[in-house]
């Protein structure tokens, strides 16, 4: 009798795989995963998203870097994600070291462990990854027998709260400097150099590299930073972000790895551009990814076809910060609609401005009866929308909603923020009033016999968290109590509306927002709190079911770190921020000008209307060098 192969070559025995939720998270072997002979590569790199598999597998950045690294013949790049709490417990009890998915080899044996930092609330998961891998949590305790730990991604634009856990941060877009870094690694190893000599040379020679251990921070009596300087000559005072100026020739995965178990993003993702022209003053992505760089239409058409073929996915989604601003959007969407109709692929179009064009497209690609329409006014009044430089006017919202209602939609989602700078009770009431007006508009525009069931408005508020490299980096953040009071006020205002029965109001947890606020603008001293909280059992803080605010508060108290210092305090013009040593392209003078304009509720035109001199033009490309509207030539 010929029996199939059931020998377990995995890091986890059958007994464990059969006792945990979704064992497919830990077996690797997915379609399009890359396998190489470890004997025939020089560098083993493992890329980590410090959250559960289904979240991590949905992240585009890792797929891009995985593609790039594995195109290098001398490198094998693998993946690892946070084990879920069930497996976490077992691995600790049985002392099973964390392993990479492809080879199932221990992470500890790799040359590099790259961790992507997409949101602040994953910070304890970083410690979990290091801990389970058997890598000392603090960079200073590591020897040559463990991987170089590199951080990257948006949170590395203020890496200070997690600086002691990393050997190196790669600041900016990953496509440009890794080759140089890897060559340096090989060279250093061949010359008999150790970990420290590699890190020192990386900081000096490779652009975009920040080695926290090579910098010294001193503080004033009031706790603010007095100086932030390199400890030795040759190490740059300012680290400038890396950026890809030609996205058309940058590596992009035509065959991304496909999860067996359902990933959050179970579709082909087509990145159409990077950066955003809008300059909303609360938005970090809108600043740090400047300038806007578009991909050519031909590149996108070719990539879309190749990806659909290479994955067999049944849905394609456009990825960008503001798809409506892509110059060839109509042509791209026409092309996709045609291709997708043939191939029976669904199109999903997030981050589109609601107007006649987008409604027409959405009406064609989605089931109007099932889908809802999303607006992000962010603030309830025109005054406050001017403060945050959100170009959306009430007129535009109502116009869009009227068109949508006429087109058969009857469900509208609205996103707002509470706690924005200069916010008053009137602004908050504006949220409820806007919702009410939209309901009234439905009754006005849609005759009774044409109504698709009752109109439904869902208004959601999140709490505003000031982020580094935004004009609001100087702004005080609300306390937990202020947040809750504002949410209460919003709820009350919604209840006062004539059409309140048709409006549903949701608000976010305040506790998590407070912590996110500390980590967003924190300095190196915050790291001890993160370490302490982890030791107390904090993990998966981005998950409501595992978040333990009480443990976090205790950790802050034990470390004698004041939350209010990092959140509620208003910063002065001269203050040195923990992230000032980074150069993300936009300069502080521009951000300060924007902060002052915000306080006067003055809007600023977007990059295509008129240049605001943010500084990103120094990268020599993108929107900064397009012909301006109305300008000659």
Partner 1 sequence: MKVRIKFSKYGALRFIGHLDVMRFFQKALRRAGIDVAYTTGFSPHQIMTFASPLGMGLCSLGEYMDIEVCSWQSSEDMKRRLQAVCPAGIDILSVRALPDPVPNRKVISAMASVAAASYAVVWKEDGRSFDGCQELTQGFLAQEEIGALKETKQGTTKVNIRPGIYELRVEDGALVFLVDASSSGNIKPSLVTEAFLDFAGLSVPKDGLQYIRLEIYTDQGSPDQPRLVPLEEMGVLF
- Applying CB under 8 A, the residues found at the interface with partner 1 are 1, 3-10, 14-15, 17-18, 22-24, 26-31, 258, 260-262, 266, 308-314, 343-344, 346, 367
Residue 16 or 404: the one with the smaller Cβ distance to partner 1 is 16
CB-based burial label for 226 (10 Å; 0-12, 13-18, 19+) = exposed
Q: Distance between CA 275 and CA 582 in Å, rounded?
A: 18
What angle is formed at CA 461 by the lines to CA 456 and CA 465, rounded to 5 degrees?
160
Tokens of 507: 């608000």
Q: Within 13 A of 460's CA, how many CA atoms are on the CB side?
A: 9
Residue 244 or 336: the one with the smaller Cβ distance to partner 1 is 336
- Rounded least distance, CB 33 to partner 1, Å: 8
Q: Smallest Cα–Cα separation from 252: which of 307, 176, 305, 179?
A: 307
Q: Distance between CA 447 and CA 457 in Å, rounded?
A: 18
- Rounded least distance, CB 27 to partner 1, Å: 4
- Rounded least distance, CB 375 to partner 1, Å: 24
- Rounded least distance, CB 274 to partner 1, Å: 28
- Rounded least distance, CB 36 to partner 1, Å: 15
Residue 7 or 573: the one with the smaller Cβ distance to partner 1 is 7
3-state DSSP assignment of residue 118: coil
- Please state, in angstroms and as integers, the Cα–Cα distance from residue 440 to each residue in 85, 195, 498, following that order: 47, 66, 9
Q: Distance between CA 341 and CA 406 in Å, rounded?
A: 25
Chain-centroid distance of CA 91 in Å reads: 29
Residue 23 or 236: the one with the smaller Cβ distance to partner 1 is 23
Residue 31 or 229: the one with the smaller Cβ distance to partner 1 is 31
- Rounded least distance, CB 350 to partner 1, Å: 18
Q: Within 13 A of 175's CA, how many CA atoms are on the CB side?
A: 15
Residue 261 or 351: the one with the smaller Cβ distance to partner 1 is 261
Pairing state of beta strands 315-319 and 268-271?
A: parallel
- Rounded least distance, CB 286 to partner 1, Å: 34
- Rounded least distance, CB 117 to partner 1, Å: 29
Residue 15 or 238: the one with the smaller Cβ distance to partner 1 is 15
Residue 30 or 175: the one with the smaller Cβ distance to partner 1 is 30
- Please state, in angstroms and as integers, the Cα–Cα distance from residue 146 to each residue in 83, 134, 595, following that order: 20, 8, 44
Q: Distance between CA 523 and CA 376 in Å, rounded?
A: 31
């Amino acid at each position: 009798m010929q029996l199939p192969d059931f020998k377990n070559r995995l890091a986890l025995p059958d007994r464990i795989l059969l006792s945990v939720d979704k064992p497919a998270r830990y077996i690797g072997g997915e379609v399009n995963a890359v396998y190489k002979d470890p004997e025939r590569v020089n560098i083993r790199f493992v890329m980590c998203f410090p959250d559960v598999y289904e979240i991590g597998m949905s992240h585009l950045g890792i797929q891009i870097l995985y593609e790039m690294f594995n195109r290098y013949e001398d490198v094998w790049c693998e993946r690892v994600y946070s084990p879920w709490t069930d497996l976490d417990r077992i691995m600790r009890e049985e002392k099973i070291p964390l392993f990479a998915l492809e080879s199932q080899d221990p992470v500890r044996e790799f040359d590099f462990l790259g961790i992507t930092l997409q949101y602040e609330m994953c910070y304890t998961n970083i410690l979990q990854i290091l801990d389970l891998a058997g890598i000392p949590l603090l960079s200073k305790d590591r020897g040559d027998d463990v991987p170089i730990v590199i951080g990257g991604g948006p949170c590395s634009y203020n890496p200070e709260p997690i600086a002691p856990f990393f050997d190196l941060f790669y600041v900016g877009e990953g496509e440009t400097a890794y080759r140089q870094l890897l060559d340096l690694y090989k060279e250093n190893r061949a010359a008999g150099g150790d970990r420290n000599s590699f890190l020192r040379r990386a900081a000096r020679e490779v652009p975009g590299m920040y080695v926290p251990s090579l910098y010294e921070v001193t503080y004033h009596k009031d706790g603010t930073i007095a100086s932030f300087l390199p400890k030795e000559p040759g190490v740059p005072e300012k680290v400038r972000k890396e950026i890809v100026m030609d996205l058309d020739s940058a590596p992009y995965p035509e065959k991304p790895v496909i999860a067996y178990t359902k990933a959050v993003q179970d579709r082909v993702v087509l990145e159409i551009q990077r950066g955003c022209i809008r300059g909303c003053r609360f938005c970090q992505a809108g600043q740090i990814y400047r300038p806007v760089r578009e991909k050519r239409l031909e590149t996108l058409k070719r990539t879309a076809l190749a990806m659909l073929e290479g994955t067999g996915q049944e849905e394609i989604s456009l990825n960008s910060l503001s798809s409506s601003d892509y110059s060839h959007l109509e042509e791209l969407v026409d092309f996709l609609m045609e291709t997708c109709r043939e191939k029976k692929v669904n199109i999903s179009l997030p981050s589109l401005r609601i107007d006649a064009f987008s409604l027409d497209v959405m009406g064609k690609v989605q089931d109007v009866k099932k889908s809802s329409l999303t607006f992000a006014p962010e603030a309830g009044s025109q005054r406050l929308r001017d403060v945050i430089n959100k170009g959306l006017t009430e007129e535009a919202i109502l116009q869009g909603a009227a068109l949508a209602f006429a087109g058969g939609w009857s469900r509208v989602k609205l996103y707002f923020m509470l706690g924005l700078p200069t916010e008053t009770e009137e602004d908050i009431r504006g949220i409820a009033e806007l919702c009410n007006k939209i309901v009234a508009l439905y009754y006005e525009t849609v005759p009774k016999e044409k109504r698709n069931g009752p109109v439904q408005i869902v208004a959601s508020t999140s709490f505003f968290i000031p982020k580094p490299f935004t004009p609001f980096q100087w702004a005080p953040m609300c306390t937990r109590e202020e947040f809750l009071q504002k949410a209460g006020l919003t709820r009350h205002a919604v209840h006062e509306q004539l059409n309140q029965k048709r409006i549903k109001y949701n608000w976010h947890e305040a506790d998590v927002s407070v912590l996110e606020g500390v980590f967003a603008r924190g300095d190196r001293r915050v790291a001890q709190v993160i370490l302490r909280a982890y030791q107390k059992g904090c993990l998966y803080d981005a998950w409501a079911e595992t978040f333990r605010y009480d443990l976090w508060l205790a950790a802050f108290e034990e470390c004698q770190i004041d939350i209010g210092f990092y959140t509620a305090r208003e910063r002065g013009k001269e203050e040195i921020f923990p992230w000032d040593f980074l150069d993300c392209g936009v300069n502080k003078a521009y951000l300060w000008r924007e902060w002052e304009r915000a306080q006067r509720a003055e809007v600023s035109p977007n990059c295509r209307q008129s240049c605001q001199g943010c500084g990103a033009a120094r990268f020599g490309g993108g929107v900064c060098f397009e012909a301006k509207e109305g300008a000659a030539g």
